[in-house]
C-alpha cells in the first residue's frame, strides 16, 4: 500500500483514518476539502482543483481522503488501494452531530 484513496459519506471518518494512517505508513495525507475550498467556503475553479489534486498525487506515497467526482479519475487511477467506509446511517449521523457541536465523532 503506497497510494491509498479513502472514500465514504460525510462523517464516516475519512479524514481521521487518513490522519492516523499517514504517519504509520510514511505517506503524505492529502485532504481533498483543503484543495477544493478557499476562504469563506468558496470553491476553486475546476481546472485549479484538478491541478492541485494532480500535484498532490504525483508522489510515491500518499493517502487521499475525500469524495469528489471531478477528480475521481485522477485519484483512483493512481491509487493502489481503495478503502471504502460504509457505516450505518445512525452512526454517521451521531458522528456528524458530535462534530458539529465541537466534540469528537
Reading the chain (105 residues) residue by residue, the pLDDT tens digits are 999 999 998 888 899 999 999 999 999 999 999 999 999 999 999 999 999 999 999 999 999 999 999 999 999 999 999 999 998 888 888 888 887 777 555
The residue behind cell 464516516 is 12
Cβ atoms of 92 and 9 closer than 8 Å: yes
CA distance 96 to 57: 28
Question: In whole angstroms, how large is the CA radius of gyration of the chain?
Answer: 14
Cβ atoms of 29 and 22 closer than 8 Å: yes
pTM of the shown model? 0.86
Strand partners for 82: 5
Amino acid at each position: 500500500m503506497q497510494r491509498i484513496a479513502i472514500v465514504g459519506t460525510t462523517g464516516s471518518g475519512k479524514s481521521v483514518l487518513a490522519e492516523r494512517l499517514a504517519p504509520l505508513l510514511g505517506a503524505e495525507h492529502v485532504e481533498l476539502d483543503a484543495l477544493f475550498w478557499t476562504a469563506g467556503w468558496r470553491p476553486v475553479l475546476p481546472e485549479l482543483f484538478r491541478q492541485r489534486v494532480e500535484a498532490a498525487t504525483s508522489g510515491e506515497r500518499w493517502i487521499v481522503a475525500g469524495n469528489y467526482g471531478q477528480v475521481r479519475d485522477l485519484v483512483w487511477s493512481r491509487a493502489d488501494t481503495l478503502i471504502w467506509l460504509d457505516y450505518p446511517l445512525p452512526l454517521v449521523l451521531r458522528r456528524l452531530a458530535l462534530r458539529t457541536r465541537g466534540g469528537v465523532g
